[in-house]
Structure 1
Amino acid sequence: MSTDTPPTLAPGAAPVHAVYASFLLGEEEFALDVRYVQEVIHLPATIVAMPLAPDFCLGIFNLRGSIIPLLSTDRLLGTPRPLGPQAKVVIIHHLGIRLGLTCDDTCHVLRPRGDELTLFAYEDQSSHQVVAGVLKLGDALVRVLALERLIRLDNIPHPEDTLSAHAAAKARRARKKAITFSAGGIPMAFPIGGIHEIVRATGIEPSPVQDPLCEGVLHIRQHIVPVVQFARLLGLATTAANNNPEAQEQRVIVLEIEQNYIGLLVDTVDSIDTYTDDQVMAVPVLSRQRAAMFAGCIDFGTRGHVFLLATQGVFELDEINRITGQHSALFTHQQTAQVRQHRAASRMSFLWFKAGTAFALPMREVREIVQCPHDLLAIPGAPSHISGMFNLRGKLVTVVDLRYFYQLAGTVPLPCEEDKILVVDHVDALIGLRVDSVESILHLYPEDKFPMPQVLRGALAPAIRNDVREVVRVPDSGERPIHLLVLDISRVLAQVAATGEALEPA
């Protein structure tokens, strides 16, 4: 890494009894105080790229439950080059912070005399000056890295950040829900409580506000919601909308805090997952201006690492405040604060999904949503609508295929990898409802839900008719409104139990 201010020799004697470990970097050596070298490991198989990362940060990796930022020593020293197949990582631990530095191999343990170590001083005290000095060993010069400067680079969290996050995680163990999504190729998630709803990107209309981050606006009932291209906000590659099949999967995640709304355009919305605060690991902050929006990182096993974002942190970003402020100045709401608060309190959350036809379930009834496992355990003698069982974190889940259960005409089950499982509680068991797809999460007002019309009830198959008493209308669904059948989950589960299938206890 280049330096703006050339170093000068620092006054004072060098430490007399210091011991250093040296490492190879191409044909050169660099050294670190051996007291702070925790271990040397092979280059991790999985390195997760981070949004807003500077060029010297290669990403993060999981080391026995701790998230470690991986820094390219070559780039820090201004000599970038590709990593070799035998590259190693030096783990340093100083003042409660762990970092990984790349190297080609370990080299020597050095015990220099005081006159063999020359320390540098920098006039501007910039944190980017990471070379503390040089060791003069015969004709060789070995650069000594400054640990106190490395841990204070702008993208490294302070010790108190890590400790406070760890303490908070130990204090809260209740399972929570998050919506996982992808933007610019990076997997991320928002806690479900801050999400107002999720809609398709096709409803975005032009905005009179000219801002490079603003994609347009959405009309959601009485609200004008500005939509921000989230990948662009994070400095990531964006998906072009013109004639791009990937753009058809784009969704807008609408966030809300105290009747303030912002829409985030993302590439895909993937699933609903559960987690505990114990699973949330601290991550390096890659931009101090955006530090508040990163709550941590969750390891979902085979699905990899997902960055958990903080809804409040998004609303605190200067760019978001600018865009929402500009739109608020142009559009005014007709409702008083009292009416809006009353309506907000009366909202209901529904999960919109498809299983041969369009259904809805109250979100409070859905424990979580998972991808249909490839290795469902078949149950000998089970009815055709029982797909099998699978293990969900030590609990058995009996899977009921709603398409077979309701004998929906013309339904051909999709391959297992395309299906979703809605996990619900039933007495002392877990039941998984196997469906075609999960479309969205809707936050509806009382006027969007009404009893099943008799004319519609008569058109339903008898098996479905007994389990549906209400329908909901999808807001802003155009001239031909979309109506969803609201399943009475207690009736559904009672019918499942009545088939005689023994449900395994959770």
Structure 2
Amino acid sequence: MEAQELEVNKVTHMYASFSLKGNEFVLDINAVQEVVNYPESIFSMPLAPDYLDGIFNLRGMIIPILNLAKLLGIADDNGTNDNLKVAIVNIDGISVGVSFDTTGEIIKADHCEVSNFDISDESDESQVVKGAIKRDNGNRIYQILEPSQIIKIRNLARLGSYDAFREGVDTRLKVQARQNKCISFRVNDIPLAIEITSVNEIINMQEIEHSAFSSKLCLGLVNLRGMTIPVLSFSRILGIESSSEVNNDQKILIIKLGSEFFGLIVDSLDAITFYSDDKVMPVPVFSSIRSHMFLGGIEAEENGMTFLIDHSEILNNDEIKQITKSHSEIYQSQKDEEEKEKVARQLESYVTFNFGYHFGLSVSEIREIIEVPKDILKTPGAPSHVLGVHDLREQLITIVNPKKMYGIEESDDELGGKKVIILEADERGENYGILVDEIDSIVKIDMLNKMKMPSLLSNVSGKLNQDVSEIIRDINGSGVVILSFEAIVRRIGMTK
């Protein structure tokens, strides 16, 4: 019996050691996949607990970073993350990063040096320390982190196997085309995207009226061409308390789900771009309430990681469903009248934007919208209004400044904050992009509501006058100058 106990005491385990806020921790060496520097680019994840710093992309795999100091309640000096290390812990196909101040050494510990703790309450997420290694007669203590317990922290289990998650995402996306187009936007500086066919339109912020069904999520309602639509706080749906009240710079995404419409407040409209469903990367979701709202993460050239939203899962909360149902029932007569009026209307979807004036192009004529590229290649001998060419996914795009092309006065030459609208290829297969100050909205416009050409616009530039197809009013009553796609590409092609 004594011989057996002696053998047990001689059993050794290998551990990787780390330091954090003056404390020393160890992890089973077999569970440590690798140790990396704290990433320069980290993304905040909606619905995440406060002990999660965010997520980052490690060679195509999304890794959440656990802030061990916050989880364990260790005093935080609010220092920078510049010199931190991240240990990537992998158990059963689930990878989680744990941040430390510094790495230590590889140590061997005999069984007799290890004191195990009783983790009695597995629901207590702070119980990730399973024991301690005592050295130097107890003067030096290494706290042993249990990798399997880290993975069991509330909501991290939602990660599951990446292979299983990938299969689930593929199943949900397989009904869509291989190449999908999405609209990207921001909520509290978190980059989000939604498949473009899911968005009925995007309008500028307007007065939100009080509703009898107002709540923490439902801020009230707006009137859109006679149709009453409840407006929801997207930041609150995402579990984020907005740092500011509703402001005029925000947008409202109008989503149609079945026969119901609802609006979502977002901070900005960033881009329209493509993504491949096989490039959607699984991301951790930290809430069981709306766990299927996130399809995954997609990489954007300029914005980095963007979270792809499944619009049909935004309303999986009974309270939100009740809000839309209640509004639709009480305002049903208005909806019926709206349907009747549609018969006499010719509604078309347009992207509206600004470059000196309020312009619009049909959604069908726009391939995508991107940030101004950093690597525009100047072309020798090109006209002054041609900024250069850009390689966009192995297609050369000629980028044009329409202000210079049409003789509109420019206040500055700065490109920061501006967008490039990539037009659909012309009949020769040429690809063009036009530089605009900002993207305003994506709206349905009644083409029967035409206006006379404003005299001011007519006097600005004869060339611009020739390239205008219509002047119409948007939902706010403002004039929108509808540009002729054919005229623009013909003019660019003649002057390249």
Q: Please indicate, yes or no, whether the TM-score normalized by the shorter chain is above 0.5.
A: yes
What does residue 296 of structure 2 align with? 296
Q: Do residues 29 (structure 1) and 24 (structure 2) align?
A: yes
After TM superposition, give the deviation of residue 364 of structure 1 in Å. Answer: 1.9
Q: Which amino acid in the other structure matches residue 439 of structure 1? A: D
Partner Cα separation in structure 1 for residue 418 and residue 20 of structure 2: 48
Partner Cα separation in structure 2 for residue 183 and residue 95 of structure 1: 34
Residue pairs, 1:319-358, within 5 angstroms: 319-335=319-335, 348-358=348-358
What does residue 208 of structure 2 align with? 204
Cα contact 2:203–2:441 (8 A) shared by 1? yes
Q: Cα distance 1:14–1:39, how it changes in 2: closer, same or farther (>3 A)? A: farther
Partner Cα separation in structure 2 for residue 190 and residue 364 of structure 1: 18
Cα contact 1:152–1:158 (8 A) shared by 2? no
Partner Cα separation in structure 1 for residue 326 and residue 9 of structure 2: 57
Partner Cα separation in structure 2 for residue 423 and residue 68 of structure 1: 33
Q: Cα distance 1:277–1:381, how it changes in 2: closer, same or farther (>3 A)? A: same
SS of aligned partner of 1:463: helix
Q: Cα distance 1:339–1:112, how it changes in 2: closer, same or farther (>3 A)? A: same
Cα contact 2:269–2:439 (8 A) shared by 1? no
2:488 paired residue among 487, 492, 506: 492
Q: Cα distance 1:103–1:356, how it changes in 2: closer, same or farther (>3 A)? A: closer
Partner Cα separation in structure 1 for residue 454 and residue 103 of structure 2: 74
Q: TM-score, normalised by structure 2?
A: 0.84
Cα contact 1:403–1:413 (8 A) shared by 2? no
Q: Which amino acid in the other structure matches residue 480 of structure 2? A: L
Q: Deviation per CA, 1:87-139: give whole Å up to 9, x if none.
A: 21111111111111122233343443334434444444326232233334442
SS of aligned partner of 2:197: helix
Q: Cα distance 1:73–1:368, how it changes in 2: closer, same or farther (>3 A)? A: same
What does residue 5 of structure 2 align with? none
Residue pairs, 1:71-470, within 5 angstroms: 71-82=66-77, 86-126=83-123, 128=125, 129-137=127-135, 138-139=137-138, 140-158=140-158, 160=160, 162-167=162-167, 168=169, 174-241=178-245, 247-335=247-335, 348-373=348-373, 376-408=376-408, 415-424=414-423, 425-426=425-426, 427-444=428-445, 448-450=446-448, 460=458, 462-470=462-470
Q: Cα distance 1:395–1:15, how it changes in 2: closer, same or farther (>3 A)? A: farther
Question: What stretches of structure 2 of length at least 5 have no aligned partner?
Answer: 1-7
Partner Cα separation in structure 2 for residue 455 and residue 61 of structure 1: 51
SS of aligned partner of 2:213: coil
Q: Cα distance 1:119–1:360, how it changes in 2: closer, same or farther (>3 A)? A: same
What does residue 3 of structure 2 align with? none
What does residue 40 of structure 2 align with? 45
Cα contact 1:56–1:76 (8 A) shared by 2? yes
Q: Cα distance 1:145–1:454, how it changes in 2: closer, same or farther (>3 A)? A: closer
After TM superposition, give the deviation of residue 464 of structure 1 in Å. Answer: 4.0
Q: Which amino acid in the other structure matches residue 418 of structure 2? A: D
Partner Cα separation in structure 2 for residue 184 and residue 385 of structure 1: 35
Q: Cα distance 1:15–1:161, how it changes in 2: closer, same or farther (>3 A)? A: farther
Q: Deviation per CA, 1:252-278: give whole Å up to 9, x if none.
A: 122221122221222222332333234
After TM superposition, give the deviation of residue 38 of structure 1 in Å. Answer: 0.9
Partner Cα separation in structure 2 for residue 382 and residue 101 of structure 1: 52
Question: What stretches of structure 1 of length at least 5 have no aligned partner?
Answer: 1-12, 502-506
Cα contact 1:255–1:263 (8 A) shared by 2? yes
Partner Cα separation in structure 2 for residue 218 and residue 161 of structure 1: 43
SS of aligned partner of 1:429: coil
After TM superposition, give the deviation of residue 207 of structure 1 in Å. Answer: 1.9
Partner Cα separation in structure 2 for residue 240 and residue 120 of structure 1: 46
Q: Which stretch shifts more, 287-296 or 167-176? A: 167-176
Q: Cα distance 1:334–1:111, how it changes in 2: closer, same or farther (>3 A)? A: same
Partner Cα separation in structure 2 for residue 483 and residue 14 of structure 1: 83
Q: Deviation per CA, 1:36-61: give whole Å up to 9, x if none.
A: 11111222223222233212111112
SS of aligned partner of 1:450: coil
Q: Cα distance 1:176–1:337, how it changes in 2: closer, same or farther (>3 A)? A: farther
Partner Cα separation in structure 2 for residue 105 and residue 237 of structure 1: 33
After TM superposition, give the deviation of residue 388 of structure 1 in Å. Answer: 2.5
Q: Which stretch shifts more, 93-102 or 103-112? A: 103-112
Q: Cα distance 1:239–1:70, how it changes in 2: closer, same or farther (>3 A)? A: closer
Q: Cα distance 1:453–1:163, how it changes in 2: closer, same or farther (>3 A)? A: same
Q: Which amino acid in the other structure matches residue 442 of structure 2? A: I
SS of aligned partner of 2:289: helix
Q: Cα distance 1:378–1:111, how it changes in 2: closer, same or farther (>3 A)? A: closer
Cα contact 2:366–2:421 (8 A) shared by 1? yes
After TM superposition, give the deviation of residue 201 of structure 1 in Å. Answer: 1.8
Q: Do residues 59 (structure 1) and 54 (structure 2) align?
A: yes
Partner Cα separation in structure 1 for residue 119 and residue 411 of structure 2: 70
Q: Cα distance 1:127–1:152, how it changes in 2: closer, same or farther (>3 A)? A: farther
After TM superposition, give the deviation of residue 65 of structure 1 in Å. Answer: 2.3
Q: Deviation per CA, 1:311-350: give whole Å up to 9, x if none.
A: 112111344224324433533245569959x97x985321
Partner Cα separation in structure 2 for residue 163 and residue 346 of structure 1: 47
Q: Cα distance 1:257–1:135, how it changes in 2: closer, same or farther (>3 A)? A: same
SS of aligned partner of 1:377: coil
After TM superposition, give the deviation of residue 423 of structure 1 in Å. Answer: 0.7
Cα contact 1:67–1:283 (8 A) shared by 2? yes
Q: Which amino acid in the other structure matches residue 194 of structure 2? A: F
Q: Which amino acid in the other structure matches residue 57 of structure 1? A: L
Q: Cα distance 1:260–1:240, how it changes in 2: closer, same or farther (>3 A)? A: same
Q: Which amino acid in the other structure matches residue 231 of structure 1? A: S
Partner Cα separation in structure 1 for residue 55 and residue 335 of structure 2: 46
SS of aligned partner of 1:283: coil
Partner Cα separation in structure 2 for residue 302 and residue 455 of structure 1: 38
Cα contact 1:353–1:436 (8 A) shared by 2? yes
CA RMSD of aligned residues (A): 3.4
Q: TM-score, normalised by structure 1?
A: 0.82
Q: Cα distance 1:161–1:106, how it changes in 2: closer, same or farther (>3 A)? A: closer
Q: Do residues 482 (structure 1) and 486 (structure 2) align?
A: no
What does residue 70 of structure 1 align with? 65
Q: Which amino acid in the other structure matches residue 486 of structure 2? A: S
Partner Cα separation in structure 2 for residue 301 and residue 265 of structure 1: 25
SS of aligned partner of 1:495: helix
